[in-house]
Structure 1
Amino acid sequence: MITEQLLSERFEVSFNQIHDALKKIVKIRDDRFSVLVKVGAKHHQAIETYKSDLEQYAKLRNAIVHDKVDIGYYIAEPNIKVVEHIEKIARVLNGPNYATSIATKEVIFYNYEDSILKVIQGIKEHSYSQYPIYRNKECIGLLTTGAIVKWMAINVAENIVKLDCIKVSDILEYEVEHPIAFVPKSINIFEVEEIFENAHKDKKELEAVIITENGKKHEAPLGLITAWDLIEIDYTVE
């Protein structure tokens, strides 16, 4: 009986921790658990991952709490696997979840005056499709492989493209604007998801979020996150 009581209590504690976390993450006026799960799953990968579980746990919680017939007696009891799983979800939603954990750790960036040959060599080595560009130690935007190809297509002559004297600044003239945001290293994944979501609402397709020490343009990049990085987060791994 002692073990069963502890399982119910552990379940309740984790459920309440999850409820509090959902309020902080989803940030809507309606703080009902089911509503927070439904709304949050549309915008946050972690909540979407556990949506079905959370909906079932809400029903079990109601049975445990509202159908309790006496002090210390529960009409419904979760098994150990359920308790361990809801505790895991509580850890995920309440953990630091720093955005640096999913960011590209080695951010390859170039200077406005660098030779484009240096960039091409970097593409060969790293296979990235976009690179932050800095001028006077401040990030001024992204250079993409698409802009390089576009420049080459326009400037090819007799099947030859001369790159010896071409700088990053020359290619940037052919680059379309790629909105980027700068955030401090203390930011968490849920806040980054919100940044992308707000940009989408404003009809601005945010290309990337660059993490720096304090979220300043002039600081060295510590990580880079794209929308694809958020989609590919796997919260199911133990």
Structure 2
Amino acid sequence: MNDEKKNFSLSERFEVAYNLIHDALKQLVDGEEDRFSVLLKVGQPRHHLIDRFYNDLKQYSKLRNAIVHEKREPGLYIAQPNEEVVEHIEKIAAIFGKPMTGLSIATKEVKFFETTQSLLEVLEAIQKYGYSQYPIYEEKNYKGLLKTTHILSWMSDTLQDGKINIADRTVADLIPYIKEAPIEFVQKDINIFEIEEIFEEKHRRKIDLEAVIVNENGEENQWPIGLITPWDLIEIDYTVD
């Protein structure tokens, strides 16, 4: 009797986790079709998260059909998930249900400059932080993404008699050297799966997105609170083991 109760509990836990994943799939895969297997097939090439667990979820879909549709009588199942399977699908459901925010992988201490700041401040920041790119703003409006290579170009053009005069030079002097770079602005509560989709969508259009700037509401005229580059996506961990 105790074994029967345990099995029934495992089956219920499995179905609860399965249903949570199903709901998440319907949100991720926008369309009229809501069958689990179809959502998996359609969503796999579009979403990293679905692709990551595609094989597991495909097998769990078959198991779920056996559990739900092949009962001999109420409470008596032909197929039973073991505890390891149940724990695994529950972990997957947790990942689908509570995705991390983009800020969890973003550079939190974003160093940015206004055009009125001195060039000396920029060089000191490079020495202190070691970042390779810095958002530039003019009266809170985004002007471009300053890279160290842009500064080197400016220095090369400014070099006279082996010397570079940075006295009274400001970030505004560097603006002509900042090359246009593909940037996206997103709100602070965006999740990591949406961030991945932004990079993937740009990639499909053969656009190399330099960075995603996170701010309060995703507007260009707001101070940055996070910066995400393609390298930051490596930090996303879908491990459930």
Match among 71, 75, 91 for residue 68 of structure 1: 71
Q: Does 2:173 correspond to 1:170? A: yes
Q: 1:152 to 1:89 in 2, by over 3 A?
A: same
Q: Distance in 2 between matches of 1:38 and 1:129?
A: 40
Pair 1:37 & 2:40 matched: yes
Stretch of structure 1 that moved more, 214-223 or 201-210: 201-210
Q: Conserved in 2, the CA contact under 8 Å of 1:11 and 1:86? A: yes
Q: What is the match of residue 226 of structure 1?
A: 229
Query: Aligned-pair RMSD on alpha carbons?
Result: 2.2
Instruction: Give the counterpart of 2:116 among 113, 117, 122.
Output: 113
Q: 2: distance between equivalents of 1:147 and 1:179?
A: 16
Contact preservation (8 Å) 2:92, 2:240:
no
Q: Which amino acid aligns with 2:225?
A: L
Give the letter aligned to residue 67 of structure 1: E
Equivalent of residue 7 in structure 2, options 4, 9, 15: 4
1:58 aligns with 2:61: yes
Matched, 1:48 2:48: no
Q: Which amino acid aligns with 2:185?
A: F
Q: Which amino acid aligns with 2:85?
A: V
Aligned partners of 2:91 and 2:240 also within 8 Å: no
Letter in 1 for 2:9: L
- 1:110 is displaced (CA, Å) by 0.6
Task: Please list, as runs of the form range in 1=range in 2, the aligned pairs for 1:106-185 lying within 5 A after superposition.
Answer: 106-185=109-188
Q: Which of residues 23, 26, 38 in structure 1 aligns to 2:26?
A: 23
C-alpha distance 67-132 of structure 1, shift in aligned 2 (>3 A): same
For residue 186 of structure 1, what is the amino acid of its counterpart? D
TM-score by length of 2: 0.87
Cα separation, partners in 2 of 1:8 and 1:184, compared to 1, 3 Å: same
- 2:104 corresponds in structure 1 to 101
Structure 1 unaligned runs (5+)? none
| Structure 1 CA distance for aligned equivalents of residues 125 and 11 of structure 2 | 56
Quick check: 2:141–2:221 contact (8 Å CA) kept in 1?
yes
Is the contact made by 1:43 and 1:193 (CA closer than 8 Å) also made in structure 2? no
What CA deviation, in whole Å up to 9, does each residue of 1:181-236 have, x standing for no partner? Answer: 22221222222223333333444332222111222222221211122222431121
Separation in structure 2 between the aligned mates of residue 189 and residue 200 of structure 1, nearest angstrom: 17
Shift of 1:3: 0.8
User: Is the CA contact 1:179–1:204 (under 8 Å) kept in the aligned structure 2?
Assistant: yes
Secondary structure of the corresponding residue to residue 144 of structure 2 = strand
Which structure 2 residue ranges, 5 or more long, are not aligned? Answer: none
Give TM-score scaled by structure 1 length. 0.88
Task: Say if 1:125 and 1:26 are closer, same or farther in 2 by CA, change over 3 A.
Answer: farther
Q: How many residues align?
A: 238
Overall identity of the aligned pairs, in %: 53
Are the counterparts in 2 of residues 45 and 231 from structure 1 also a CA contact under 8 Å? no
Aligned counterpart in structure 2 of residue 215 of structure 1, from 213, 218, 240: 218
Deviates more, 1:6-15 or 1:157-166: 157-166
